[in-house]
A and B are shown apart, each in its own frame.
Chain A
Amino acid sequence: MSERPEFTIRVDQNPYLPAGGREMHAIVTVEARRPDADDDGPPAEGGAAEIIIIDTSGSMSYGGKMAAARRAAKAAVGVLRDGVRFAVVAGANRPRMIYPQGERLVEASASTRRSAANAVGRLEAAGGTAIGSWLRLADRLFEGQDGAVKHAILLTDGKNQHESAEELDAALRHCSGHFLCDARGVGTDWEVAELRKITSALLGGFLDVPDPKDLEADFLAMTRSAMSKHVADVALRVWTPQHAELRFLKQMVPAVDDLTAKRRESGAQTADFPLGAWGSENREYHLCVEVPPGDIGRQMRAAWVKLIAPGSDGAGERELASGNVLAEWTDDEARSTRINGRVAHHTGQSELADAIQEGLEARRDGDEDTATARLGRAVVLAREVGNEQIAGLLDKVVDVIDPATGTVRLKADVAKADEMSLDTRSVRTVRTARTRKNDLPPAAPPADTPAAPPQDAPPPQDAPPDGPPGTPPDEAGS
């Protein structure tokens, strides 16, 4: 299994806390890289299953959406790898099997891909939208595919009108942890918050596709990405000290997603957070833990993060990588007030997403003061973190008078598609290339502060020497 990706964990933080300091922030970067990366990579180690769910409600017949959806679904089927177990489902008031005919999955091959494409070509739009029932069908189809990368693609063009919000929530609770789902909203009649809730529960992402003709390329990319996933059901295990509290764990790259509530206790001092399936990629997480303060000069492991995957063939779980979040109490203000650049960057992106979502909600509610203040703040933050895509989308919703102070005026006429795009993409973050060398100085550094830390204090990131005989090598930072 030399083709299995190699996982690494990197921790960026300023480990120094002032006397009595309790709150420690760190950015945990998880990277998976195949040693010999070719175009496609190997198939998933436990197999893969893919279900394509196409909204066929009546509204899909307008604006060329149904035709675009047929083309997109055909394209997706066309790039399924041989051997991937798949199905195509049509969604309306109730879900309906399009391919194969019975409630089951079939293995992808030249002939099944062709038959599926023919079946997709006969899709017609009629009826309503009940997404929870579509997901429940997918869940039944995925049953028995243990260990496989189980992924669904959901396309919708409308609100979930033909079942209650409670029914959808119940379906999400039922399906959560069973399979992953990425979603696309086509047109402008679907609800951003709804797709955000669905994909967050099912560890996926979603995007707006305002113009149906873009759907085909988007489906191709999404399916190829799903086919590149190699390791299923990865989890981040977080150990914290006694009397400490994990305040939050947020995915920050590729998009903001608060994982805190997905916590699953896995030991006396450990909790697991599901991270879904992985191909060759990297993601970043912002972790915040509150620890009991230590004396000046003491060091603490504030968190121990480990990447866990289930073992193959029922073997025990595997530890793929681990890293340490440290804390060290110091009376040197130059150290304790420094802010790690990556922590600052992601704190800004997180606040940016909140500011946009709150601003747009206030705007929809007619609260112009709040909308102006929050969207103005978003303009400042988008500049600070260098998120040009969001800055460009904000420009379509507000007139920026002074980007430095965030003085803005709400535009009178905003295209629905632009507002939805801003809302959808508010959580899409940009990476930072900053390393810990670029730690930001405190806002008002004392004039006589030396630029470099004194030499007599070894940096706590240093790996300790080999352990004593008979003990496993230290795993920090591996």
Chain B
Amino acid sequence: MNGDRNAGAHGGAACRDCGSWAVTADGFCEACGLRQPGADEHAEAHLVVDGRPALGAGISDPGLRRVHNEDAFALARLPDGACGVVCDGVATAPGSREAARAAAQTASAVLLDRIAAGAGPGEATREAVGRAGEAVAALADGDGGPGPACTFVSAVVAAGRVTVGWLGDSRAYWLSAGESYPLTTDDSWAVQAVARGELTAAAARADRRAHMLTAWMGAEAGAFEAHLAAYEPDGPGLVLICSDGLWNDLPDAAALASVALGEAAGAAGAGGTGGEAGAGGEAAGEAGPLGAARRLVRAALDAGGHDNVTVVVIEFPPPDPTREPG
């Protein structure tokens, strides 16, 4: 008990009936009382720095049209930063929900282990992808049917550097008050068709094959090579990793940035001082990575919530609890 009378609330999702940000862990809205459909499928986590939500937050929601959530995420604090993983189970393969969870958890555990042991973020990411792929392959029952499969995207935000690894169409973005841009390129039919010069981007997106994956993690994926990329941002911002449930409706990095940074909370989130409104209950949820994650999920639901939507948001640079940033 922390003395807060809303201690039971975790505010993970907006209520679809009354819009309040106060759905309790058991899925009931703390304002109108209605239980949210798919409430058991919703998950949220955030990191805490100096007793306040800061540094990173993740939300996974089944969306408005699906009963089950086949997305998964993991989020962990590193010695000087944080790492996150988002995986999206391929809905046509049975067991993909478990695949996504196994991949996200395995990768996150490997990242933590290896980085704590002194490995560089690139090396740690490569190892995490490999071990996650093994974990997914191990789920196949081997009787010939389609094995479980999932996409993968990870981000390591530490020591002035952002390192992402991915496979499939889950994305990473750099979002800031200045420039915003994707950090990944989808392994999808649409992207490849454009890359080969066969179609314009708009025509490719409109094709019914647009979302077909050309690479994934799982039994039928064969030997895969994950993509790896590293960036050294020169100012504060947010690293976003997400499933296609978010970017299908909001593909543009600048649009995502304006949602994530919000109007009032923008400076706080981007400046790494997400805890400054920490004493103010509801306001604390709105600033920093948790507020950004909520606004992003809300935007995806407002756009129709056609698919499972999962976001992990990590602050750059990580807030330094010992001194005032900037």
Contacts and interface: CB of A to CB of B under 8 A. Distances in A.
B69 to A, nearest CB: 11
Interface string A222-255: 0000000000000000011111100000000000
A140 interface: no
A144 interface: no
A454 interface: no
A294 interface: yes
Nearest to B35: A299
A298 B34 contact: yes
B252 to A, nearest CB: 29
A470 B42 contact: no
B43 interface: yes
B44 A242 contact: no
Interface in B1-46: 1, 3, 5, 7-8, 10, 12, 18, 24-35, 39-40, 42-46
A474 interface: yes
B5 A267 contact: yes
B31 A241 contact: yes
A300 interface: yes
- Number of chain B interface residues as a range: 20 to 34
Nearest to A243: B32
A472 B3 CA distance: 13
Interface in A73-93: none
Contacts of A469: 43, 45
A299 B36 CA distance: 8
A475 B8 contact: yes
Nearest to A308: B5
Interface string A444-478: 00000000000000000000110111111111100
Given A318-B1, A471-B44, A474-B26, A242 B33 contact: yes
Interface residues of A, number: 33
A291 B33 contact: yes
A242 B3 contact: no
A316 interface: yes
Given A319-B1, A464-B39, A469-B43, A241 B26 contact: no
A468 B34 contact: no
A318 B7 CA distance: 12
A269 interface: yes
B10 A470 contact: yes
B33 A244 contact: yes
A427 B33 CA distance: 34
A301 B10 contact: no
B152 to A, nearest CB: 20
Given A242-B32, A299-B34, A474-B26, A468 B12 contact: yes
A243 B17 CA distance: 13
A468 B42 contact: yes
Nearest to A267: B5
B35 A465 contact: no
A464 to B, nearest CB: 5
B289 to A, nearest CB: 13
B18 A242 contact: yes
A470 B45 contact: yes
Contacts of B30: 239, 269
Contacts of A467: 10, 25-26
Contacts of A239: 30
Interface string A198-220: 00000000000000000000000
B28 A300 contact: yes
A159 B5 CA distance: 45
Contact of B25 (A243, A316, A324, A471): A471
Interface in A286-315: 291-292, 294, 298-302
Nearest to A316: B3
A201 B221 CA distance: 74
Interface in A2-20: none
Interface of B: 1, 3, 5, 7-8, 10, 12, 18, 24-35, 39-40, 42-46
Given A241-B33, A299-B28, 19 more contacts: A241-B29, A241-B32, A298-B35, A300-B32, A300-B34, A301-B28, A318-B1, A319-B1, A464-B25, A464-B27, A465-B40, A467-B26, A469-B45, A470-B10, A471-B44, A472-B7, A472-B8, A472-B25, A474-B25
Interface of A: 239-244, 267, 269-270, 291-292, 294, 298-302, 316, 318-319, 324, 464-465, 467-476
28 contacts: A240-B33, A242-B18, A242-B32, A242-B33, A244-B33, A269-B31, A292-B32, A298-B34, A299-B28, A300-B33, A302-B33, A316-B3, A318-B1, A319-B1, A464-B25, A467-B10, A467-B25, A468-B43, A468-B45, A469-B45, A470-B45, A471-B12, A471-B25, A471-B44, A472-B25, A473-B25, A475-B8, A476-B26
